[in-house]
Structure 1
Amino acid sequence: MKLIFQTLLLFISLTLSAQNWELNLEQSKEIAQNESKHILLVFSGSDWCAPCIKLEKKIWNSQDFQDYAKDNLVLLRADFPRLKKNQPSKEQQKHNNRLAENYNPKGYFPFVVLMDAHGEVLNQLGYKNIDPKSYIKAINDY
């Protein structure tokens, strides 16, 4: 039983450390500047947007993307769930709305924005039914 618990704990900690999604643009800029990385801002509807869910499962959760992101990107998520139980705090909702006003005024979901460390847009794209390596290439095609 103890071994099962330890294995489960290890699995959870590895899963949580696999991707560290930031929720604040200013903090993301600071990290990106300190680590010489770009920012990847992802607008999603995690509990209602089928392409967003596919992007999460097929691309963001892939080992290829996680390896690439670890060395090259600060991941920033602006999630707009519809179910009450999934709603972020009011403060986070306001922050996400400001991000949408500035970077996704047409309200596309999913919408992916590659920025430099100062918040300047380098590339924009949505869901593409391609493999993770091709998606990474598409992100960097600017």
Structure 2
Amino acid sequence: MKKLLLILFFVMGAITAGAQETLKWHTDMIEAMKVSEKTKKPMFLFFTGSDWCGWCKRLQKEVFTTPEFAAWAKANVVLVELDFPRSVAQTPEIKQQNAELQQVFRVNGYPTVWITTANKDKEGKVNFTPVGSIGYLAGGHPAWLEAANKILANKPPARK
């Protein structure tokens, strides 16, 4: 009987671990661009104030932590978190990168999500092709994913 309970415990643990699989959120834009190019998926830029923005926390809880979002994200985008925390330390490089991207995408409030593609020109300059943006939406993951899918429907074709 103890052996059966032990086996059941391990099986349930494995199932639970699989269901709680975490998503890969990139913080380095260069790395995210490489993954985007390799997978031919657009980047999902999440501008957030993770430790102070109430709407950002709500979006995380209602949408980004759901299994439905995880499945959607894995199939459709490369996730990038561009954080502007008040009490969490960041490297100077990440702070500068995030501030520059905030200006490029004209982000005035949080949370803001931009779906974009990017490529480098012959001189090595990064050129973004924004597809669309979205912020917090009431209605949880169904409403949010519906809006995100409408943005993806406008995605330009992948460059070869």
Q: Same fold (TM over 0.5)?
A: yes
Interval of TM-score (by shorter of Structure 1 and Structure 2): 0.7 to 0.9
Change (3 A) 1:14 1:140: closer
Q: Are residues 133 and 26 of structure 1, via their aligned partners in 2, closer, same or farther at CA, if it must alter by over 3 Å?
A: same
- Structure 2 contact 41–78 (Cα < 8 Å) conserved: yes
Structure 2 residue runs of 5 or longer lacking an equivalent are 1-8, 120-127, 152-160
In structure 2, the residue corresponding to 1:140 is in which secondary structure? Answer: helix
1:40 aligns with 2:79: no
Gaps of 5+ in 1: none
Structure with higher RCO (Cα < 8 A, 6+ apart): 1
Q: Give TM-score, length-normalised by structure 2.
A: 0.73
RMSD: 2.1
**How do 1:40-79 residues align onto structure 2 when only pairs under 5 Å count?**
40-79=44-83
Work out the percentage of aligned pairs sharing the same amino acid.
Answer: 25
TM-score of the superposed pair, with normalisation by structure 1:
0.82
Map Cα deviations across residues 17-61 of structure 1 (whole Å, 9 max, x no partner).
511001122221221111121110000001110000001111111
Say whether the 8 Å CA contact 1:38–1:73 is kept in structure 2.
yes
Task: Provide the residue aligned with 1:134 in structure 2.
Answer: 143
- Verify: 1:87 aligned to 2:89, yes or no: yes
State the distance in 2 between where 1:107 and 1:131 align. Answer: 23
Structure with bigger gyration radius: 2
